[in-house]
Chain A
Amino acid sequence: MIENSFNRRGFLKVLGWGGATVALSGCGNTSVEDGKEFVTSYVQTADYIIPSIGTYFNSTCAQCNAGCGIMGRVREGRVLKLEGNPKSPINNGKMCGLGQAGVQAHYNPDRIREPLLRTGDKGEAITWEKALALINEKVGGVKAENVAFLTGGVSGHVKALLKNYLDALGSGHHYVYEAVAPSIMRAANKKAYGVEMPRLHLDKAKVIVSFGADFLGAWISPVHFSQQYARFRKADKGERGVLVQVESKMTLTGANADRWLAIRPGTEGILALGLINALAAAGVSVPGDVVGAVKEYTVDRVSKDTGVSAEHIGKLAALLKERSPSLIIAGSAVEGYAHGSQNATAIALLNQVLGNVGKTVEAPSSVPFPQMAPTAGNRFALQALNDNMAQDKVKVLFSYGANPVFTAPASMKLKENLKKVPFKVVFAHYMDETAVEADLVLPLNSALEDWATAMPEYIAEGAQLSIQQPLMEKLYPGTLGMGDILLALLKQRRPEEYKGYEDFYSYLRSAMVSIKGALGGANEDDDTFWDTALSRGVVKLVGAPVNISSNASAKGLVVPAPFVEDSAYPLHLIPAVSASMRDGRNANEPWLQESPDPLTTIVWDSWVEMHPKTAAKLGIVEGDIVEVASRSGAIKAQVYVFTGIHPDVISMPLGYGHEAMGRYAKGVGVNAFKILDPIFDKETGELAMHETRVKVSKAGQRVVIVKDEGPAGGNQMGRKIAVRMSSSKVNLSEEV
Chain B
Amino acid sequence: MSITNLLENWSDFRQQHPSEDRPHREYKWAMSIDLDACTGCNACSVACYAENNLPVVGKEKFAHGHSHHWIRIERYWDNDGREFADQGAQFLPMLCQQCESAPCETVCPVGATNHTADGLNSQVYNRCVGSRYCNANCPYKARYFNWYDYPTTDNVWPEPMNQQLNPDVTVRGKGVMEKCTFCVQRLTVAKSNARSEGRSVLDGEVQTACQQVCPTGAISFGNLVDPSAKVGKQWKQQQVDLNKDKQAKDVTESAAKLRGYRILEELRTYPSVMYLEQLRESAI
Contacts and interface: CB of A to CB of B under 8 A. Distances in A.
Given A260-B87, A262-B84, A727-B279, A475 B46 contact: no
B89 to A, nearest CB: 4
Given A109-B160, A729-B256, A233 B36 contact: yes
A722 B155 contact: no
A594 B56 contact: yes
Contact of A97 (B46, B218, B284): B46
B77 A595 contact: no
A226 interface: yes
Contact of B212 (A93, A108, A319): A93
A534 interface: no
A722 B90 contact: yes
Contact of A727 (B35, B85, B282): B282
Interface stretch (B4-12, B22-30, B47-55, B98-106): B47-55
B91 A724 contact: no
B85 A222 contact: no
Interface stretch (B109-117, B127-135, B145-153, B163-171): B163-171
Interface in B54-113: 56-59, 62-63, 67, 69, 72-79, 82-92
A643 B40 contact: no
Interface size class of B (residues with CB under 8 A): 35 or more
Interface stretch (B13-21, B174-182, B257-265): B257-265
Contacts of B217: 94, 227, 230
A250 B85 contact: yes
B74 A95 contact: no
Contacts of A579: 41-42
Residue of A104, A262, A604, A723 ringed by the most chain B CB atoms within 10 A = A723
A75 B167 contact: yes
A315 B283 contact: yes
Nearest to B86: A260
B56 A593 contact: yes
B41 A226 contact: yes
Given A316-B284, A591-B50, A107 B56 contact: no
Contact of B279 (A227, A312, A605, A724): A724
A250 B87 CA distance: 11
A144 B77 CA distance: 59
A244 interface: yes
Residue of A252, A254, A721, A728 ringed by the most chain B CB atoms within 10 A = A721
Given A258-B281, A724-B277, A725-B279, A475 B160 contact: yes
Contacts of A217: 41
Contacts of A318: 283
B139 to A, nearest CB: 10
A7 interface: no
B46 A595 contact: yes
A720 B261 contact: yes
17 contacts: A78-B164, A91-B215, A233-B36, A233-B279, A250-B85, A253-B39, A254-B88, A256-B40, A259-B87, A319-B284, A594-B56, A706-B62, A714-B75, A714-B77, A725-B259, A726-B281, A726-B282
Interface of B: 34-37, 39-43, 45-47, 49-51, 56-59, 62-63, 67, 69, 72-79, 82-92, 155, 158-161, 163-167, 209, 212-218, 230, 233-234, 237-238, 256-259, 261, 263-264, 275, 277-284
